[in-house]
Structure 1
Amino acid sequence: MLSLSLRLVGCSSCSSRISHPKAPASRLHIFSPPKQLNSARQTNNTVHQFSQLSQLIQIPDHTAKGTEYSYSSMEYKMIGPEHCDQVLEHLRRNFFADEPLNKAAGLCQNGSSCAALESHCAEAILDRMSVMAVDAKEQEQGVCKVVGVVLNGILKPGDTAKALSKLDTNDDAGFRKIFDLLHRHNLKYNLFEHFDVACMFDVRILSVDSSYRGQGIANELVKRSVAVARKNGFRLLKADATGIFSQKIFRSHGFEVFSEQPYSKYTDVDGRVILPVEAPHIKMQQLYKAICGGADQDEKEQSR
């Protein structure tokens, strides 16, 4: 279940949520110097004023493409079990309620917990393949603020069938609806059989803090996930992208569509839509990326 939840659409997905405005250089007017400086004293005063002003304004570092920016205080780190509480708190505030399928199922309210979903997240964290973005300048109870996460797990043949068999014992009806769709779709369109691999790098959740969206954080998290997969010897990555924004992000990193499930066609025996997902999200996509080359190949794929 991968959706970047964007306030722009309510991520109603990586669904994967971006409301923070982008700031093109042409619109960043911080200081306009006078046309003439009549004296050295006036020059010194101007320099002093600019120095004071720049201390009050955090000026973004523009990327090479010029369309996204990130703050110099941003750091990316591997997620360990010791970060579990921080990561779950981030997801409660920024992902659980807004992800398209979660929202359609009424899984939980913003800021509230969901035991079944949190257990699903904690399971991925234990695989030590996940990455987080932290703002080193923002402290929460003495630790850096988590502003983005991508939760990755190790998926082996048989894992999905086992997870599906356990759904009946889960007392959360909304959770059962969501994962019944995901698990059955993955079993029907089986990447293991198609690619003949012993395990897959499973990108499960992509989330960015609503105050930090539009800075390229989600893209960087996916890029680093691909690097982690390569470093650990994986041949194949997969992601179940539930919203159009996360789908776009993954395709920009060389992921390809293996299968799709339109939400309007996922119905019960009476023909009623089981998960009435709000527009513009119209389908779930199972995406994959085969790792068969070096970093140069990834860069070529992203530039397409």
Structure 2
Amino acid sequence: MTSNTKEGVIIRSMVLEDYENVKLFMKKEYFTAEPLCKSSGEAVHLQNEKENDAINISMIAQGTSLLALDENDGGRIVGFVLAGAELPEDVERNCRIAETLEDNAWGRIFRIIAKAEHEANIFERYGISKALYSHVTCVAASMRGKGLGSRLAATLMDLGRSRGFPAMVAYCTSFYSARQKEALGMQCIYSLDYTDYKDDRGRVIFTPAAPHTTLQVMAIKL
């Protein structure tokens, strides 16, 4: 994929050699800001680290993840999106994995995403056999509100089209990420209010601060 630059920020394909720095960036900028991680009060970046690394590295290896670098600041990472192919069998496998995970924040987040994947059923809804799954998008706090997240998502859509993906899907735990993707033409095909998602004892599992009240599955045909 050809990289593109705007106002000194270049977006290019992420490669495996980037992951060490991306992981450090995630610890500082993603796990402290993503609503479900932030509200958990747990050190989510230390939980299921091996599994999390495997998921992220597998996506980078597909050549479908993007990195944003500020060339005006020594090539500092200012954003990224981890994305990869999702197939029907992945959804079923994730449901099985979700049942085996321990009851920590990482496991609870994995379980609610697996539930949303299964119930949204993008493959049957759109009559497709694969989709480009936008897994994690993160922008540095210093760059938020400047359109970089939208630029990353739009670049990912273009990449998806060039790779022959018929659709792109994102599981948005944040109000702002869902709103951003809606502005790019993505449609909410499934939603789950956090107040309705409870454990076996009837207790609400996730209580992020407003306006993050709902998990939304956003999708678009490419």
State the TM-score, normalizing by the size of structure 2: 0.90
- Aligned residue for 1:228? 159
Rounded to whole Å, the distance in 1 between the matches of 2:165 and 2:211 is 33
- Aligned residue for 2:197? 266
- Aligned residue for 2:9? 74
2:52 is matched with which residue: 107, 110, 117? 117
Rounded to whole Å, the distance in 2 between the matches of 1:179 and 1:105 is 13
Rounded to whole Å, the distance in 2 between the matches of 1:194 and 1:214 is 33
Given that 2:98 and 2:107 are in contact with CA atoms closer than 8 Å, whether structure 1 keeps it comes out as yes
Which secondary structure state, in structure 2, belongs to the residue aligned with residue 137 of structure 1?
helix
Rounded to whole Å, the distance in 1 between the matches of 2:7 and 2:119 is 45
Offset of residue 118 of structure 1: 3.6
**Structure 1 residues 179 and 265, CA gap change in structure 2 (3 angstroms):** same
**Structure 1 residues 182 and 87, CA gap change in structure 2 (3 angstroms):** same
Offset of residue 284 of structure 1: 0.5
Residue range with higher mean Cα deviation, 170-179 or 238-247 = 170-179
1:104 aligns with 2:104: no
1:178-257 correspondence runs (5 A): 178-257=109-188
Offset of residue 249 of structure 1: 0.6
1:79-98 correspondence runs (5 A): 79-98=14-33
Matched residue type, 1:146: I
- Aligned residue for 1:300? none
Given that 1:80 and 1:128 are in contact with CA atoms closer than 8 Å, whether structure 2 keeps it comes out as yes
Rounded to whole Å, the distance in 2 between the matches of 1:290 and 1:270 is 39
Offset of residue 172 of structure 1: 6.1
Which secondary structure state, in structure 1, belongs to the residue aligned with residue 88 of structure 2?
coil
Matched residue type, 1:206: T
Given that 1:92 and 1:113 are in contact with CA atoms closer than 8 Å, whether structure 2 keeps it comes out as no
Rounded to whole Å, the distance in 1 between the matches of 2:202 and 2:100 is 25
Offset of residue 105 of structure 1: 2.9
- Aligned residue for 2:214? 283
Offset of residue 71 of structure 1: 6.8
State the TM-score, normalizing by the size of structure 1: 0.67
1:126 aligns with 2:61: yes
- Aligned residue for 2:88? 157
Given that 2:95 and 2:118 are in contact with CA atoms closer than 8 Å, whether structure 1 keeps it comes out as no
Offset of residue 214 of structure 1: 2.3
Rounded to whole Å, the distance in 2 between the matches of 1:106 and 1:166 is 24
Rounded to whole Å, the distance in 2 between the matches of 1:212 and 1:98 is 13
Identity rate of aligned residues, in percent? 23
Which secondary structure state, in structure 1, belongs to the residue aligned with residue 170 of structure 2?
strand
Offset of residue 130 of structure 1: 1.0
| Gap runs ≥5 in structure 1 | 1-69, 292-304
Rounded to whole Å, the distance in 2 between the matches of 1:120 and 1:179 is 12
Which one has more relative contact order, counting CA pairs under 8 Å at least 6 apart? 1
Residue range with higher mean Cα deviation, 238-247 or 171-180 = 171-180
Rounded to whole Å, the distance in 2 between the matches of 1:99 and 1:214 is 15
Given that 2:175 and 2:212 are in contact with CA atoms closer than 8 Å, whether structure 1 keeps it comes out as yes
Which secondary structure state, in structure 1, belongs to the residue aligned with residue 63 of structure 2?
coil
- Aligned residue for 1:22? none
Query: May I ask how many residue pairs the two structures share in their alignment?
Result: 216
Offset of residue 89 of structure 1: 1.3
Q: Deviations over 1:14-36 (max 9, x none)?
A: xxxxxxxxxxxxxxxxxxxxxxx
Given that 1:168 and 1:176 are in contact with CA atoms closer than 8 Å, whether structure 2 keeps it comes out as no
Offset of residue 88 of structure 1: 1.2
| Gap runs ≥5 in structure 2 | none
Rounded to whole Å, the distance in 2 between the matches of 1:196 and 1:250 is 22
- Aligned residue for 1:14? none
